[in-house]
Structure 1
Amino acid sequence: RLKEKVEETFGCEYELVTEFTGLISWSRGASIGWHSDDNRPYLKQRDFTAVCYLNSYGKDFEGGLFHFQDGEPKTIAPMVGDAVIYTADGRNTHSVDEVTSGERLTLTLWFSRDSSHDEDAKLILLLEENVLHKSNNVPWSLLPLPASDNMYWFSPHQASNQDIGFDIRLGRLHALGFDVYYSRDMNFGSDLSELLMEPMQLARRDQLLDHKFVNVLHSLQVGEYVNLYDEQVAQFYFWEGCKSQAFTNEVQSGKAVRLSRSQSEKITRVNSVFLKDTKLVETVFQSAGQCYFNLATFSAAITEWEDYSCKLHKEILLSLPQWRAHQAIYSVKFDV
């Protein structure tokens, strides 16, 4: 219905396609300066934008006001249930004030006249390749599917290169007290941009956790599941009230090992490439405070998440023929 409203409002002669859908969390300190939504070469296919507000200014967060550079209204105070639609080009240059407290949540959809950028069609193709045509089909090794690398880089003032800023995947882990470790040998003079989608482990302080993840997105998705798994978990793998001795016991039991010098050097090298501005990381992401890591909760959450992934994998297998036939992703009901 939202796409139809955009088509009606702007008098589109042809049906639009959804180019990208983003569920965006703006934490304290997050903001964005004046820009248009097609301001990068790889975004020129974007014609229209719809921003849906999932919570309210003044109740759920402070700051985060939306401003248009020209025209009316100049300023929009987000309220849950409201949506703002506009052209994605320079006619609607806009900005968002810094969020000073709370969390600002938006669901943003970008639409294109170019059907070759249809998000659903691309996702269906990826799912076919990853779910149907892989012999070693382990459900939790296939999800989540990554976006392009440039979607994960955060830099101030919309800088067009990666000389400043940080990768938001590593940034979030770092703010929570974790680093990532890759066991394979790295040529420090080579391009490491593909590294983050390779198998990895998490490190905390001077300890390397035993569990191996398919990629950094896998570790982040398991972390999100921890929030659902245990109400006592503040965020990611932290558990308030857990004593630091618990982590020491896990190290002694073999679930974590002390980092060697060479392992620490690899972590430092990765951080130098993907975390160029740690102060900016701390501004954008808020830490969980003085909480302690609980590996028992972490391990249980991994088991729960893998069970969920298996269930989701089966649903995708059943739904994919319908999605492929209609070239659209939607909820498919099955007779029980």
Structure 2
Amino acid sequence: MSEVDFQTQKHPRLFIPNFLSSHECKELEFIHKCSSTVGYRPNVFSTTLSHLIATNSSHFIIPFIPIRERLKDKLEEFFKCEFELFIEFTGLISWSRGASIGWHSDDNRPYLKQRHFSVVCYLNTYGKDFNGGLFHFQDGEPATIMPAAGDVVMYTADDRNIHSVDEITDGERLTLALWFSRDGSHDEDTKLVSLLSQHLLHKSMASSCLPFPASSNMYWCSQNQASTDHFGFNICWARLHVLGYDIYISQDSSSGFDVSELMVKPVRLVRGSELLDHEFVNILHALQVVQFYCWKGSALQTNMSNIDSKVVKLLDVQREKISGINSLLLNDVNFASRIFCRRPSYLEENGCIYFNWTGIVAAIAAWEDYVLKLSKQIHLQLPYWRMQESLYNVQIDA
């Protein structure tokens, strides 16, 4: 199906199927599921570029760059505003069970009036990865968009394109969202280049690859959306839990720690009655490797013949410590399971259904290669970005 031009004076919009490749969708899904924090609405989770920088994961910005450029070019071409637009916001946003939003325009608040155009890229598929979550325009065509991985919709952010999203009833609906402005004072790139300069200029590539968690309340999800509500779950712990993992922290007692301390402690992965004898620097590090295995699992299967996985049986005293940690970070397991419920298609496509510890060990090394490659790219491109105060794809000869 080719792109569909719905350009009219009343409701200017453009729908483009298969704009993003499957690889691009899966890579952004990986980044979001190992980096996201609580979002702006109940049961919504977000990953912003500034958050990636703040958590020492700025290298994950690299996959966004060519996608942003292609989207901006297409938007300016369609709306006939070449060289007029600035990217005001870029972020990954997922909607989980119970999330919805009623009729609105994207500039419907005084502090949002700088937003002139909206772009939504769907990273997974309705009916396969989630149910509910249909996108509706109040007027004009198309009236309803059934999200499919790779599809993109572009539209003006004003009241000519009032829209809503149905409640998610199952799974997790993933999108890449961008807003564009004609006002250069709202260019997010200027701020991002400044943040990148502060975080990367005096760091080696190796030291800039290991993630460091943000404030613990940014990862706390509760039913009343209050970070002070102790009944809920930590997003990082929950995402591991629904994939079948627990976390072990080798400390004498968990009673003396608060959640912030637990987030930065070295951890080991546990599955069932087995513990992998490999120490991750913190929960985010472990989560990134596990999600990388979910993304690349089937490809890693062919490279595991000579890998030795050091797995030991879990002791009763270790089980008790895990229970103590879970009582702090995963004390509403049913709520976590409803929000991050797994779908069989996700497991089959990503290889997690064929879990083995050798695969996780292979993923540790493959993840290191992946992030070092991205880190090298961002260190090489940053000087050019600083000169232009803009993030763009720099062609550098090897």
**TM-score, length-scaled by structure 2:** 0.58
Per the TM alignment, residue 176 of structure 1 is displaced from its structure 2 partner at its CA by 0.6
Identical pairs, percent:
41
Q: Which residue of 1 aligns with 2:360?
A: 298
Deviations 1:137-184 (A, max 9, x none): 46265355768877756667xx55344764443322111112334456
- 1:166–1:281 Cα contact (<8 Å) kept: no
Flag the 1:294–1:30 CA change in 2: closer, same or farther, 3 A.
farther
Q: Which residue of 2 aligns with 1:243?
A: none
Greater Cα offset, 171-180 or 74-83:
74-83
Question: Counterpart of 1:92 in structure 2: which amino acid?
Answer: I
Question: Counterpart of 1:262 in structure 2: which amino acid?
Answer: K
- 1:181–1:202 Cα contact (<8 Å) kept: yes
Aligned residue runs from structure 1 range 133-172, under 5 A? 133-134=202-203, 137=204, 139=206, 142=209, 160-162=225-227, 163=229, 166-172=233-239
- Structure 1 stretches of 5 or more lacking a match? 240-245
Deviations 1:258-283 (A, max 9, x none): 6152343123212138x682342354
Deviations 1:252-308 (A, max 9, x none): 5xxx766152343123212138x6823423546668499574222111211122122
Q: Which residue of 2 aligns with 1:271?
A: 330
Aligned residue runs from structure 1 range 1-336, under 5 A? 2-3=71-72, 15-22=85-92, 31-34=99-102, 48-53=117-122, 63-68=132-137, 70-73=138-141, 74-78=143-147, 80-87=150-157, 92=162, 94-98=164-168, 106-111=175-180, 118-134=187-203, 137=204, 139=206, 142=209, 160-162=225-227, 163=229, 166-183=233-250, 192=259, 195-196=262-263, 199-227=266-294, 229-231=296-298, 250-251=311-312, 259-272=318-331, 277-283=335-341, 288=347, 291=353, 293-336=355-398
RMSD: 4.9
Which whole-Å CA distance do the structure 2 matches of 1:161 and 1:42 have between them? 23
- 2:129–2:343 Cα contact (<8 Å) kept: no
Per the TM alignment, residue 218 of structure 1 is displaced from its structure 2 partner at its CA by 2.4
Which whole-Å CA distance do the structure 2 matches of 1:35 and 1:209 have between them? 48
Question: Counterpart of 1:71 in structure 2: which amino acid?
Answer: D
Question: Counterpart of 2:311 in structure 1: which amino acid?
Answer: E
Flag the 1:120–1:11 CA change in 2: closer, same or farther, 3 A.
closer
Greater Cα offset, 206-215 or 313-322:
206-215
Which whole-Å CA distance do the structure 2 matches of 1:261 and 1:316 have between them? 43
**TM-score, length-scaled by structure 1:** 0.67
Which whole-Å CA distance do the structure 1 matches of 2:394 and 2:219 have between them? 31
Which whole-Å CA distance do the structure 1 matches of 2:185 and 2:254 have between them? 36
Greater Cα offset, 261-270 or 322-331:
261-270
Q: Secondary structure at the match of 2:312?
A: helix
Instruction: Count the aligned residue pairs.
Output: 312
- Structure 2 stretches of 5 or more lacking a match? 1-69
